[in-house]
């Protein structure tokens, strides 16, 4: 049987897994303990495909799923530096000096240890056209917001949120819009599709 490769637009408050922590007997923690979350099982009726990497419960956007274990391992391995691009709404408006801090790498706390992030691409962008988030982000009249496009080549736990917080601009909304050449366009939240033959070919060529 040929392998399956799927793109999925993960909505907010969906876990990047097919079983809920309650189903496995594991206690829910963090955001999972605050609000009931849906799982991939409620959206994707394909057996034996698994997400490549993770996307936090409170983040949205592009997720790649496959039953190709070798490709999954290679895309998930940080040493291969596969780019992932995010649109990030932050509190207040960063200056170019602030963005330069991100571009050069910042120190974040990961698993109780300081970690210096790799250099990234970061720029201010106009507010993108996105479906409304449910629930919407908190809104404060006295605090402006800005949108950034950030491209990483690594994926530490909650890295984008930790990086923007490190320079004083908390993340309000986070949407992954690209994994390498694969893009979110054409999908709505909760929708999935198979990769095209051209996308599959390019994916294997790049990996």
CATH code (residue 15): 3.30.70.580
Question: Which structure tokens are listed for 202?
Answer: 């390019």
The pLDDT of residue 141 is: 82
33 with 111, same domain: the answer is no
- Give catalytic residue positions: 56
User: Model confidence at 35, in pLDDT bands (50, 70, 90)?
Assistant: low
Question: Which structure tokens are listed for 115?
Answer: 């970690």
132 with 195, same domain: the answer is no
Helix (H) or strand (E) holding 110: strand 107-110
Q: Are 148 and 91 in contact (CB under 8 A)?
A: no
Tell me the residue range of the domain where 67 lies. 1-80+182-207
124 with 161, same domain: the answer is yes
User: Model confidence at 28, in pLDDT bands (50, 70, 90)?
Assistant: very low
66 with 131, same domain: the answer is no
Q: Tell me how crowded residue 201 is: count the other CB atoms within 10 A of its CB.
A: 11
Question: Which structure tokens are listed for 6?
Answer: 């799927």
113 with 171, same domain: the answer is yes
96 with 169, same domain: the answer is yes
User: Model confidence at 77, in pLDDT bands (50, 70, 90)?
Assistant: confident
> Which residues have a Cβ under 8 Å from the Cβ of 170 and sit 6 or more positions away?
90, 91, 161, 164
Radius of gyration for the alpha carbons in the chain, expressed in angstroms and rounded: 17
Residue 99, classed as helix, strand or coil, is helix
25 with 92, same domain: the answer is no
**How many Cα atoms occupy the beta-carbon half-sphere of 197 within 13 Å?**
0
117 with 199, same domain: the answer is no
Place of tokens 């294997």: 204
What sign for the dihedral angle of Cα 180, 186, 35, 171? positive
Mean pLDDT over 17-38 rounds to 61
- 102-125: pLDDT as tens digits: 999 999 999 999 999 999 999 999
The pLDDT of residue 142 is: 87
User: Model confidence at 20, in pLDDT bands (50, 70, 90)?
Assistant: confident
Mean pLDDT over 122-138 rounds to 94
Q: Are 130 and 174 in contact (CB under 8 A)?
A: no
Number of domains in the chain: 2
CATH of the domain at 145: 3.30.70.1560
Identify which has the larger pLDDT, 32 or 153.
Answer: 153
141 with 96, same domain: the answer is yes
87 with 173, same domain: the answer is yes
> Which residues have a Cβ under 8 Å from the Cβ of 134 and sit 6 or more positions away?
11, 12
Mean pLDDT over 61-84 rounds to 85
95 with 175, same domain: the answer is yes
Mean pLDDT over 5-26 rounds to 84
18 with 73, same domain: the answer is yes
Q: What is the DSSP letter of 41?
A: G
């Amino acid at each position: 049987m040929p392998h399956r490769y799927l793109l999925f637009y993960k909505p907010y408050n969906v876990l990047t897994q097919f079983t809920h922590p309650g189903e496995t007997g594991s206690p829910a923690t963090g955001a999972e303990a605050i609000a009931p979350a849906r799982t991939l099982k409620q959206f994707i009726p394909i057996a034996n495909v698994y997400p490549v990497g993770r996307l936090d419960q409170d983040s949205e956007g592009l997720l790649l799923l496959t039953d190709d274990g070798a490709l999954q391992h290679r895309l998930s391995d940080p040493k291969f530096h596969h780019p992932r691009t995010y649109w990030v709404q932050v509190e207040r408006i960063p200056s170019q000096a602030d963005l330069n801090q991100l571009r050069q790498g910042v120190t974040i706390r990961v698993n109780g240890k300081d970690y210096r992030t790799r250099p990234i691409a970061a720029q201010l962008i106009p507010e993108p056209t996105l479906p409304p988030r449910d629930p919407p982000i908190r809104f404060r009249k006295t605090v402006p917001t800005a949108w950034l496009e950030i491209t990483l080549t690594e994926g530490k736990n909650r890295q984008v949120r930790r990086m923007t917080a490190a320079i004083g601009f908390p993340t309000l909304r986070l949407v992954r819009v690209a994994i390498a050449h694969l893009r979110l366009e054409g999908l709505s939240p909760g929708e999935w599709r198979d990769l095209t033959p051209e996308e599959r070919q390019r994916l294997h060529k790049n990996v």
